[in-house]
């Protein structure tokens, strides 16, 4: 599920470069195509929770697989712009529904001491999927109608998940089939002590209405505060935008050849994958709170460093998609996606969100997944820094406009600060992939009662997508208003607020059964 989610987020980066030529897409149509994935994901967040709670997590996953297969076939076979939009809309709905159902399903089916590891693997799948999408973007970049192959290959992991889910047990919480499913030996759900406790204390599932999320019953209002706080702070720390200038930074530190740009992009994606795997390994050892606070601290330091260094060594210019219509011009849209022009937002691995996150994301992204400022908005968990397009009112953006002019600092000094910016960005990717990326969605899958878990998760997820969109689309306006440096310093301040929020409001849930977490939240304090 995570692999497919990350793949669909990242594949549009390379596909769009061919689509704008084959379909003669205007900037507006490119925006529509990119945002259609977000629209579908938002729709799934609004209605998917009802499907998950009423019909079960497993069935929701199967439905999402079928919808994704249909969307992928439409994208592969279509010959019209409308077909592309409908296909991406369908795919967005499917991956958003799948991300919610998968995390909840896994959290309810595994032992308490393995839940952090196995739920966080979804986020690792997202990171791997994004990396895979960029590799395939490169492979099919010069093939005629290569975008059909890019979209069509998503059918393989989707079909594999659909077939494998058929052999997994139905959620015991929904159908009270604890003994029968466990004894089949399909999956070791709990250890013997937990199984005995479950038999002695059968779960009487409580029924909740959606409005109970905002009431004091079972302390649901505080749970909603925790969920929304994590989701919104995940976005407000700047994860949809920080990596939007990845290629600009790569160029400024000397990655000017095609091979160097590819290496830098893939390296950033590899860092994300490794950091996410580290998070999965330590989720059940260090705990959710520790990883969240540590990740937020490093993120705050990283974006603050980027803000300060950009005042000394301002970054280059990013142009919108109408710039340089001449195919031989340096900013041409038909340029090879790996051409390392400083004004391009190239292939740079990421949700993001998420995201996110996610990203991711897991539904928490995790931070290397944004296609452009506009494409970053289509991610729920992480951010994919990468595409040669940047849509925003046809404006040319000057980065670091509040900083000193580039001529004010010697070239060597600028080089040093550019490297500092690059290293800070790598630290940001790692920190997001360890903390907010996987942990946000892990905590969300744990803190709500079973009777409303799907709707509550979907409610928070809708805010994740909406916040990602808002932050991404307002980024350039804020840059114009306060400047690049102050914008990133503001992200650093939000990171500090996030650490304080986690310390005060987010409880530690490692090693606890979902019933124990529910009881912990039900207490007044």
What string of pLDDT tens digits covers the 525 residues of the chain? 999 999 998 888 778 878 888 898 887 888 788 888 888 998 999 888 888 988 888 999 999 999 999 999 999 999 999 999 999 999 999 999 999 999 999 988 888 888 888 888 998 999 899 888 888 887 887 888 889 999 999 999 999 999 999 988 876 544 344 333 433 444 444 455 544 554 455 455 677 777 877 777 777 888 899 999 999 999 888 877 766 566 556 666 666 654 565 566 677 778 888 999 998 888 888 888 999 999 999 999 999 998 888 777 766 544 445 433 434 333 333 333 333 333 333 333 333 333 333 444 433 333 333 333 333 333 334 444 344 333 333 333 333 444 444 454 566 777 787 788 888 888 998 999 999 989 998 998 888 888 888 888 889 999 988 887 787 777 767 777 887 788 889 999 999 999 999 999 888 888 888 888 877 777 755
Give me the pLDDT at residue 90, please.
96
Give me the pLDDT at residue 525, please.
58
DSSP assignment string, 316-379: -EE--TTS--STTSTT-TTS-TT---TTSB------EE---BSS---TT--S---SSHHHHTT-
Cα dihedral: 89, 93, 98, 99 (round 10):
90
Q: Cβ distance 380 to 43 under 8 Å?
A: no
Task: Name all domains of the chain by residue range, CATH numbers in brackets.
Answer: 1-169 (1.20.1250.20), 209-315+410-524 (1.20.1250.20)
**381-382 vs 397-398, strand pairing mode:** unpaired
Give me the pLDDT at residue 28, please.
80
> Rounded CA gap, 434 and 92, in Å?
25
Q: Record the pTM.
A: 0.73
The predicted-structure confidence for 11-68, as pLDDT tens digits, reads as follows 887 788 788 888 988 878 887 888 888 889 989 998 888 889 888 889 999 999 999 9
């Amino acid at each position: 599920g995570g692999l497919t989610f990350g793949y669909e987020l990242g594949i549009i980066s390379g596909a769009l470069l061919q689509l704008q030529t084959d379909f003669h897409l205007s900037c507006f149509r490119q925006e529509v195509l990119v945002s259609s994935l977000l629209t579908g994901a938002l729709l799934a967040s609004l209605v998917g929770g009802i499907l998950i709670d009423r019909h079960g997590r497993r069935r929701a996953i199967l439905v999402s697989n079928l919808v994704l297969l249909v969307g992928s076939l439409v994208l592969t076979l279509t010959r019209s712009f409308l077909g592309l939009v409908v296909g991406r809309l369908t795919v967005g709905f499917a991956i958003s529904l799948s991300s919610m159902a998968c995390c909840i399903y896994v959290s309810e089916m595994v032992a308490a001491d393995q839940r952090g590891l196995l739920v966080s693997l979804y986020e690792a799948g997202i990171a791997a999927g994004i990396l895979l999408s960029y590799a395939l973007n490169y492979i099919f970049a010069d093939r005629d109608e290569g975008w059909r192959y890019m979209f069509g290959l998503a059918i393989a992991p989707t079909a594999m998940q659909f077939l494998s889910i058929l052999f997994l047990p139905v959620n015991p919480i929904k159908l009270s089939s604890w003994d029968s499913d466990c004894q089949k030996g399909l999956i070791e759900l709990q250890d013997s002590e937990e199984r005995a406790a479950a038999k002695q204390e059968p779960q009487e599932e409580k029924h909740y209405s959606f409005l109970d999320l905002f009431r004091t019953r079972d302390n649901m209002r505080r749970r909603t505060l925790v969920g929304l706080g994590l989701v919104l702070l995940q976005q407000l720390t700047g994860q949809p935008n920080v990596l939007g200038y990845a290629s600009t930074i790569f160029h400024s530190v000397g990655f000017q050849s095609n091979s160097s740009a590819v290496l830098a992009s893939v390296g950033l994606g590899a860092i994300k994958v490794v950091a996410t795997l580290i998070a999965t390994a330590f989720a059940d050892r260090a705990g959710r709170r520790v990883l969240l606070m540590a990740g937020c601290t490093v993120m705050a330091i990283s974006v603050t460093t980027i803000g300060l260094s950009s005042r000394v060594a301002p970054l280059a210019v990013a142009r919108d998609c109408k710039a340089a219509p001449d195919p031989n011009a340096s900013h041409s849209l038909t340029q090879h996606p790996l051409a390392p022009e400083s004004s391009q937002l190239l292939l740079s691995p990421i949700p993001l969100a998420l995201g996110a996150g996610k990203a991711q994301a897991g539904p928490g992204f995790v931070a290397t997944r944004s296609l452009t400022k506009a494409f970053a908005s289509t991610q729920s968990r992480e951010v994919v820094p990468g595409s040669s397009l940047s849509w925003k009112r046809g404006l040319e953006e000057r980065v670091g406009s509040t900083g000193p002019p580039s001529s004010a600092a010697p070239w060597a000094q600028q080089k040093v600060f550019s490297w500092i910016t690059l290293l800070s960005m790598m630290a940001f990717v790692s920190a997001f992939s360890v903390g907010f990326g996987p942990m946000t969605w892990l905590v969300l899958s744990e803190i709500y009662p079973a009777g409303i878990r799907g709707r509550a998760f979907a409610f928070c997820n809708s805010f994740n997508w909406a916040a990602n969109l808002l932050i991404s689309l307002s980024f350039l306006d804020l840059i114009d208003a306060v400047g690049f440096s102050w914008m990133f310093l503001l992200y650093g301040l939000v990171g500090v607020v996030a650490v304080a929020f986690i310390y005060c409001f987010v409880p530690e849930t490692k090693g606890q059964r979902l019933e124990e977490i529910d009881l912990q939240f039900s207490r007044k304090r």
